[in-house]
Amino acid sequence: MFVQFVVLFILAGFVAKYIWPTVTNALDERIKKISDGLAAADQGKAAMALAEKRAQAELAGARDEGQKRIGDAEKRAHLLAEEIKQNAQAEAARIIEQAKAEAVQQVTKAREELRAQVATLAVKGAEQILKREVNVSVHADLLKQLETEL
């Protein structure tokens, strides 16, 4: 038993001197890798949360910018519609004025034609009454006066 006891001490000394440091170093390295991995994971989570916050802020900013641009576009469209409406109203007023002027010209022309026709009828009527021919060139002044009176 003594020999077994000695062999056990020799084996324990050999394990303690050559094997145990290698195993503890390997375990220490493994612990360090695990702790570094956990720290990196925590840093990754923190970076991910920060990136997500930045992305949300950028998204909100882009959304606000989009809403602002839509609002500006709606304002421009409204102003353009108002301008088109005003231009159309001005064009309609111009067309109406032109039509009124044209109507006045046509009325004046119709009056002139009517006067000429009435003068011709008056001369023919006078001819019939007098039973003789009335010379237009001789009585031009009289006919002009008759035209203006009508």
| Structure confidence by residue, pLDDT tens digits, 15-33 | 888 888 888 999 999 999 9
pTM of the model: 0.44
| Structure confidence by residue, pLDDT tens digits, 40-57 | 999 999 999 999 999 999
The pLDDT, as a whole number, for residue 93 is 92
| Structure confidence by residue, pLDDT tens digits, 97-135 | 999 999 999 999 988 888 778 777 777 767 666 655 556
What is the residue-wise DSSP string for the chain? -HHHHHHHHHHHHHIIIIIHHHHHHHHHHHHHHHHHHHHHHHHHHHHHHHHHHHHHHHHHHHHHHHHHHHHHHHHHHHHHHHHHHHHHHHHHHHHHHHHHHHHHHHHHHHHHHHHHHHHHHHHHHHHHHHTSPPPTTTTHHHHHHHHHH-
The pLDDT, as a whole number, for residue 147 is 65
The pLDDT, as a whole number, for residue 134 is 57
